[in-house]
Amino acid sequence: MTIPPGAAKLAVFALGLVPLALLLAQIIRSDFGPDPAQELAGSTGEWSLRLLLATLCLTPLRQLTGKVFFVRIRRMVGLFALFYASLHAFVWLSLLLGFRWHAIGEELLERPYVTVGFASLLILVALGITSPKAMVRRMGRNWKRLHRLVYVAAILAIVHLAWVSRTDFGETVFHGSILALLLGYRLWRRFARTAGQAARR
């Protein structure tokens, strides 16, 4: 039985809202421990990174399985990654810094982990703005060049997580390993394609 594309996308959209529902339930139950703002910032950041890595998994899945479905949901999953990254930034700006703009500037200049995380967010914002099909047509080949920066955003996000974690690097190693596998797969594909073109010549 084939699931209609619209129903499949709706299911993916509903799944993308599950982390938000879980976070809201924790807020209602006051279940964020002794430092709720810090916990909320960590949770939103982790969900953003998970969804960003999930987005990067979709193209390899399409190539390995031949299922077009994975490409069809790629933009939606990527936008959810941007959504949770934006929530992460909002929590940091509002609950941790209280919208004190001078403090925000100082944090960006004096704390490298904040600078790295902010750079990752800016890349995701740029990718989100240029994700509509109209922008794909307008930008042509430049669209693909720009969207390759998603790997840079992921690397910066891993570095940001490592810096924030300080001593507990379990999450960093886990997510970093997934990213390393994805980058390795991409390099292998490029090498295989180049070797194939050389053989045909």
| pLDDT tens digits, 50-93 | 999 999 999 999 999 999 989 999 999 999 999 999 999 999 99
Amino acid making up residue 48: S
Mean pLDDT of the chain: 89
β strands within 76-172, DSSP E: none
Helix crossing, 74-91 with 36-65: angle to 10°? Answer: 170
For residue 32, the model assigns a pLDDT of 74
Whose tokens are 């399985």? That residue is: 65
Quickly count: other Cβ atoms within 10 Å of residue 174's Cβ.
10
Q: Distance between the two ends of the chain, CA-based, in angstroms?
A: 44
Confidence of residue 105 (pLDDT cuts 50, 70, 90): confident
For residue 101, the model assigns a pLDDT of 80
SS3 (DSSP) at 18 = helix
> Number of folded domains in the chain?
1
Give the 3-state secondary structure of 39-66. Answer: HHHHHHHHHHHHHHHHHHHHHHHHHHHC
Amino acid making up residue 101: W
| pLDDT tens digits, 157-198 | 999 999 988 777 888 999 999 999 999 999 998 888 777 666
Paired tokens of 177: 């390993």
Q: Indicate whether this model's pTM tops 0.85.
A: yes
Q: How far apart are CA 107 and CA 117, in angstroms?
A: 11
Q: Which domain range does residue 69 map to?
A: 5-200
Question: Would you say 161 and 49 are in contact if contact means Cβ atoms under 8 Å apart?
Answer: yes
DSSP 102-126: HHHHHHHHH-HHHHHHHHHHHHHHH
| pLDDT tens digits, 12-32 | 999 999 999 999 998 888 877
By C-alpha distance, which of 152, 17, 11 is closest to 79? 17
Question: Would you say 51 and 77 are in contact if contact means Cβ atoms under 8 Å apart?
Answer: yes
Tell me the percentage of the chain whose pLDDT exceeds 70: 94
